[in-house]
Amino acid sequence: MKLSELIHSRQAKIGIIGLGYVGLPLALNFGRKGFKALGLDVDKTKVDAVNAGRSYIEHIPSAEISEMKNKGLLEATTDMSRAKDADAIIICVPTPLTHHLDPDLAYVISTIEAILPHLRENQLVSLESTTYPGTTDEELRPRIEKRGFKIGENFHLVFSPEREDPGNEQFPSHKIPKIVGGTTPACLEQGRALYGAAFETVVPVGSTQVAEFAKLLENIYRSVNIGLVNEMKIVADKMGVDIWEVIHAASTKPFGFKAFYPGPGLGGHCIPIDPFYLTWKAKEYGIHTRFIELAGEINDHMPDYVIRRTMEVLNLRKKKAMNGSRVLVLGLAYKANVDDMRESPSFKLLDQLKLHGADAHYYDPHIPVVPPTREHKEWTGHKSVAWDEKTLRSYDAVIISTGHRAYNLDQLVEWCDCIIDTRNTLAGRNTKPGQVTKA
């Protein structure tokens, strides 16, 4: 039976490699549509959690995982040889940057190498990990063809960029249009069938390169505009102008303007990383992407700006140096109301505070303990401080890095006399003169 027929009859088993913020919701999406989903991950703790019906991602209820598991629609394993059991295999592994801002495809390459011996005819492999244009064709296709498969005939290969936005209740993943590019027209047809079974809208494009490029453009668009507004924030601060009021005024224009907001830096799995994938690939064609790199440079230096402003506030208003001061960072997650801390600028703030001799801590109700991370191992095991009057009053300065709804802002304003607000969280609050500095 053809893959498209298996999909149409809900007999296809969907293998998903990587059970993180992208892979787990994807597995649940297919499970809700009646497909059996097989999750594969090298992290045994995630596999054990799924098989126990327990969530490890805050915005995904354990009940959803347990329900799919009890229906026989979801299981997980660390055994990559189980890839042979899947009719479609979707790869959702990290694609970070090296310390030199070059693409690091180690997870993608190790994944395809691990499953290669177990691939069989009439399967489909889809790469969802964000990467530079050409990756699917240059890295995955030759390895699969080396096994003797003929892409587009007895094996299918597509690229479909993930567009997951953790915690976005307005746009759950199945409602976000799914871009799909095939290595051949036949591959595209199978890819459309696969994703059309779990997503409301599928957007077919002419090649895997177009699909890869589209994902980069989406996030480069955001990176450049955030870089612009971050730069304008610095100028506005120097002029004594409230950039947040400026943005609100400009956003009243009903055409030609989209509001972007400044912050302490960029976080998440996409915007701080994706632009450099295109920058790196463009060099192969002799192109220097100055606009992209400039935005990346501005955004990357925003934590430094916040620390400088904190130093100024401590000096001018408290007559204290950063060295020896107690500073609390509010929010470890990269965005509000989630537990996702990938590439969070809060880590850079904590690093800089520590470097300048401050006694630095964090508070985040979504992340009570810092789990192991690739980039910030020194913070592993650190605990969120308690939220009480004695604790908060003990800090010389508080930096609002992430604007969680869970904060009691009335208590914050009552207990803390020196607040650096990077997110305009305290807008409209009745605060004392000089108590809040926007940065």
Please tell me the distance from the alpha carbon of residue 181 to that of residue 213, in angstroms, as a whole number.
11
Bridge partners (DSSP) listed for residue 438:
421
Whether residues 8 and 55 share a domain: the answer is yes
Rounded Cα–Cα distance for residues 270 and 215 (Å): 9
Write the CA distances from 19 to 48, 90, 283, integer angstroms.
11, 11, 33
DSSP letter (8 states) at residue 371: P
**Predicted local confidence at residue 165, as pLDDT:** 86
Check whether residue 50 and residue 164 sit in a common domain: yes
| Interior/surface letters 355-382, b for 16+ CB within 10 angstroms, e for the rest | ebebebbbbbebbeebeeeeebeebeeb
Considering all CA atoms of the chain, what is the largest pairwise distance in Å, rounded to the nearest integer?
A: 76
**Do residues 228 and 242 both lie within one domain?**
yes
Q: What does the pLDDT average to over 59-80?
A: 97
Q: Is residue 258 part of a domain?
A: yes
Instruction: Report the pLDDT value the prediction gives residue 356, as an integer from 0 to 100.
Output: 97
Tell me if 364 sits within 8 A of 334, measured CB to CB.
no
Do residues 234 and 328 both lie within one domain?
no
Catalytic residue positions?
A: 270
User: Residue 309 falls within a domain, yes or no?
Assistant: yes
- Name the residue type at position 159: F
The reply to whether 375 and 237 lie within a common domain is no
H/E element, 7: helix 3-8
Provide the pLDDT for residue 171.
86
Q: Are residues 10 and 53 in the same domain?
A: yes
Q: Quick check: 105 pLDDT over 90?
A: yes
Q: Are residues 188 and 53 in the same domain?
A: yes
Report if residue 123 sits inside a domain. Answer: yes
Residue 1 pLDDT exceeds 80: no
Beta strands in 272-390 (DSSP E): 326-330, 359-363
Same domain for 163 and 32, yes or no, is: yes
Place of tokens 């976080």: 267
Residue 164 has pLDDT above 90, yes or no: no
Which domain, by its residues, includes 37? 3-206
| Residue where a domain terminates, one of 149, 181, 206 | 206
Q: Do residues 273 and 370 both lie within one domain?
A: no
pLDDT tens track for 175-197:
999 999 999 999 999 999 999 99
pTM listed for this prediction? 0.93
Give mean pLDDT, residues 216-232: 97
Does position 162 have pLDDT exceeding 90, yes or no?
Answer: yes
DSSP element (H, E) containing 265: none
| Counted domains in the chain | 3
Establish if 382 belongs to a structural domain.
Answer: yes
**Domain end position, chosen among 147, 178, 206:** 206
pLDDT in tens, 296-325: 999 999 999 999 999 999 999 999 999 999
pLDDT at 268: 87
* Structural tokens at position 174: 């199945």
Closest CA to 188 of 169, 215, 211: 211
Domain end call among 172, 206, 240 = 206
CATH number at residue 247: 1.10.1040.10
Tell me the pLDDT of the chain averaged across its residues: 96
370: left (phi over 0), alpha (psi -120 to 50) or beta: beta
| CATH number assigned to the domain comprising residue 97 | 3.40.50.720
pLDDT in tens, 351-384: 999 999 999 999 999 999 999 887 888 999 999 9
Looking at the structure, do residues 169 and 201 belong to the same domain, yes or no? yes
Q: Is residue 211 part of a domain?
A: no
Residue with tokens 């409602």: 175
**How far apart, in whole angstroms, are the C-alpha atoms of residue 309 and residue 437?**
8
* Angle, alpha carbons 183-41-366 (nearest 5°): 110
Residue 75 has pLDDT above 90, yes or no: yes
Give the percent of the chain with pLDDT over 70: 100
| CB-CB contact of 146 with 216 (8 Å) | no
Question: How many angstroms separate the CA atoms of 293 and 279, rounded?
Answer: 7
108 and 27 within one domain: yes
pLDDT at 100: 87
What is the per-residue pLDDT across 412-425, written as a single tens digit (0 to 9) for each?
A: 999 999 999 999 99
- Looking at the fold, whether 47 and 188 belong to one and the same domain comes out as yes
Please report which helix (H) or strand (E) contains residue 315, including its range.
Answer: helix 302-318
**Eight-class DSSP state of 266:** -
